[in-house]
């Protein structure tokens, strides 16, 4: 099993409107250092899991919709409690869509899962890992 | 699959009384930077793997019994060779007990495993991962 | 010359209302990983720059006024453009006040400067260093 | 499941002669920070996954054939496109051979897989994980 | 005294043709993680040491002439032994030229020095710090 | 001004027998990740601050007297309260002696100071910086 990971980051404001979250119910913010990983059964014909530029570019596209924003006002996240876990899934789903949509080329049959890890500080992080759809 | 991780640390003395360990047979010590992770099939009703405060607090409780101690004289570890691997299991078991004991609330059916990674330096670390018991 | 550093962190929202800042004019946020350092000519009678607990506690007190807040609404920062540099100075000034106020005991004549470094991400940080007042 | 990891590094030149790689077709280089991990069902009779000295030594042996070299001229890599993924496999295979060859002693029945992660920078890395052969 | 730092990276091949360097006489390579810092007496009218985008952009411009190259064949470095220290000076000089040339605007009278730190691995780095010219 | 830094580590036990230190009065331990830096006015005739192998080797020699030891029983430290600050000075003094003693060759007139930083955990560290003697 192979993996390929790239790191990027986003700086967002949000609140977690549920008494469960204590002081994080207030409007505050976070820098999320984001590590996006593709796992594959094998390398492709170029000897890689994926084009690292495509992975970095795809991740940037997904983050661009969130970066420098107040997530409480992002329409795609309306009604969503934007915990680190939930944001990890949102980013992973965005990358999975780009794999299906061809952003990584047609030669993606070896890819198995995508995992997104969000570091909210030096002492706390969360991740989400999901299968990639079979190529059509 | 989701995960949530928090980091803490402990500063301990110990010796490894087995010729296998060479100079580490002598009384020496370590700072263990400890990363405790819960893995879950899904997020709970709050959109998280677990209350991050409960995870950090539970980890601190387990470490408090070891921190600033000479492990050679800790009764719970009598007769135990306190390698990094064995300490990782000790901490993971302590967290698993706290999950079973209700420290993370009643809504823990989505939790699958706990993993504890102990960094003994910038160039060496070990981990232990175990299943969490089914909720009663 | 000796130094002692402790690390803590805060998660804040803010905006930088000046066209100079481009997308950071919008309400967004940051995790600031904060490293507070005291520099001293010599160690004190205990062989340290300062009580590390006093330094960590003093830093936490200063950060507690900002953590989990929207800085645009913090009265002490009214009218202040809360850049990373300016926040570093705010935290350093708060620590300097605590040194003068006795939070580090009376034996502080060896202390020379305080420096606060704020990491806003894995790829960008800023710092401020200032003299400590002579003990009375 | 237990794991044990050690970190080492190598500084190499290479080129990736395939238009797919854009500017990396040119002769350039990398520091690979290498993290080698053994996974095991249980600890051995000494309470460890493996002798950490044997793991660090085995890793150094494998890297010594590559360190301070131009990989385009290393005979063992003739005809190989030395992507990070492919180099991770090369190092993992070298470690697996050493396990089979007895470098970790005879008591290796608890070992399951070896994983090698190569960090090519602070923002990109790749890994390869493979089974270890059953002991004879 | 304030500082502002950004981090970038470059991946280069080179050789150090002097018996002093042992195995590094051979053609090999490195990833240099580069941290460029500006020091200033005060913040400017925007409350910053410098436009962080201008600093990141200026650093990228300087590194672009080296990244994915064999430094032994870069004309600007002909006859230069490209040690980490010498490369740190080369990058710092490139940034200083850009400050003088107006890339950071006209309001740079508060800037004092530029420092460039090059990490060649997780266990070794070097830096160069120089004065910035007085604004004309 | 140039600098060159190498990183190593040591794993020690010790106690701090002074009520000032609270729980650290007990026998406990630490991994100290050690960063040793030489500062120089200029590079030498090889284009470096110092032979990086000599610096790494000198640091290892100094640490070898402490590594895997109980510092309470190390004769050279008898009567010394081995705080992080004091240990940083001990290591720096050991390196300064080696510079004076010729371990870095005769061409050391450009060297100005040595600084040793000891990280006792991911959230706390201390350093000591001292002048190097003028070459005879």
**pLDDT tens, chain D, 136 aa long:** 999 999 999 999 999 999 999 999 999 999 999 999 999 999 999 999 999 999 999 999 999 999 999 999 999 999 999 999 999 999 999 999 999 999 999 889 999 999 999 999 999 999 999 999 876 6
pLDDT value of residue C123: 98
Per-residue pLDDT tens over the stretch C3-35 = 999 999 999 999 999 999 999 999 999 999 999
pLDDT value of residue A134: 77
- Those residues whose C-beta lies under 8 Å from the C-beta of residue D25, and which sit 6 or more positions away, are D15, D16, D17, D18, D19
**Taking CB atoms and an 8 Å limit, are F83 and C7 in contact across chains?**
no
Yes or no: say if C39 and C1 are a contact pair by the CB < 8 Å rule.
yes
pLDDT over 80 at E135, yes or no: no
Judge residue F3's burial from the number of C-beta atoms within 10 Å of its C-beta, 0-12 exposed, 13-18 middle, 19 or more buried: buried
pLDDT value of residue D106: 87
Chains E and A touch (3+ CB pairs under 8 A): no
Tell me which residue of A10, F79, B85, F41 sits closest to D2, measured CA to CA. Answer: B85
Max Cα distance, chain E (Å): 52
Yes or no: say if C8 and A97 are a contact pair by the CB < 8 Å rule.
no
pLDDT value of residue B61: 98
Span E83-91, mean pLDDT?
98
Distance from A87 to chain B by nearest Cα, in Å? 10
pLDDT-above-70 percentage for chain E: 99
**Taking CB atoms and an 8 Å limit, are B21 and D49 in contact across chains?**
no
**Which portions of chain B are predicted below pLDDT 70?**
135-136
| ipTM score over 0.90, yes or no | yes
**Taking CB atoms and an 8 Å limit, are D124 and A7 in contact across chains?**
yes
For residues E60 and E64, give the distance between their C-alpha atoms in angstroms, rounded to a whole number.
6
> What are the φ and ψ backbone dihedral angles of A125, each rounded to 5 degrees?
-155, 165
For B83, which of D3, D47, D53 is closest by C-beta distance? Answer: D47
**Taking CB atoms and an 8 Å limit, are A43 and D86 in contact across chains?**
yes
Tell me which residue of C2, C12, C26 sits closest to C86, measured CA to CA. Answer: C12
pLDDT value of residue A136: 61
pLDDT over 80 at A135, yes or no: no
**Taking CB atoms and an 8 Å limit, are A7 and D122 in contact across chains?**
yes
Per-residue pLDDT tens over the stretch A8-59 = 999 999 999 999 999 999 999 999 999 999 999 999 999 999 999 999 999 9
C27 is written with which tokens? 């309400």
For residues B62 and B110, give the distance between their C-alpha atoms in angstroms, rounded to a whole number.
23
Distance from A109 to chain C by nearest Cα, in Å? 33
Yes or no: say if B70 and F25 are a contact pair by the CB < 8 Å rule.
no
Judge residue B80's burial from the number of C-beta atoms within 10 Å of its C-beta, 0-12 exposed, 13-18 middle, 19 or more buried: middle
- Which stretches of B84-128 are DSSP H helices? 84-100
pLDDT value of residue D16: 97
Chains adjacent to C (≥3 CB pairs closer than 8 angstroms): A, E, F
- Those residues whose C-beta lies under 8 Å from the C-beta of residue C90, and which sit 6 or more positions away, are C77, C80
For residues A48 and B55, give the distance between their C-alpha atoms in angstroms, rounded to a whole number.
37
Three-state DSSP at E1 gives coil
Yes or no: say if D71 and D12 are a contact pair by the CB < 8 Å rule.
yes
Most C CBs within 10 Å: which of E34, E52, E60, E110, as the mutation test of the C interface? E52
* CA D60-D61-D63 angle, 5° bins: 65
> Closest chain D residue to A36 measured between Cα atoms?
D124
**Taking CB atoms and an 8 Å limit, are A31 and C29 in contact across chains?**
yes
**Which portions of chain C are predicted below pLDDT 70?**
135-136
* CA A96-A101-A102 angle, 5° bins: 105
């Amino acid at each position: 099993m192979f993996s390929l990971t790239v790191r990027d980051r986003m700086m967002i404001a949000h609140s977690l409107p549920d008494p469960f979250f204590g002081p994080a119910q207030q409007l505050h913010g976070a820098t999320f250092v984001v590590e996006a990983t593709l796992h594959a059964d094998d390398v492709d014909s170029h000897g890689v899991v994926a084009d690292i530029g495509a992975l970095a570019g795809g991740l940037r596209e997904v983050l661009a919709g969130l970066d420098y924003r107040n997530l409480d006002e992002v329409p795609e996240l309306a009604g969503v409690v934007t915990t680190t876990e939930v944001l990890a899934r949102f980013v992973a789903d965005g990358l999975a869509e780009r794999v299906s949509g061809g952003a990584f080329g047609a030669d993606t049959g070896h890819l198995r899962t995508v995992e997104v890890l969000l570091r909210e500080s030096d002492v706390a992080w969360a991740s989400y890992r999901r299968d990639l759809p079979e190529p059509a």
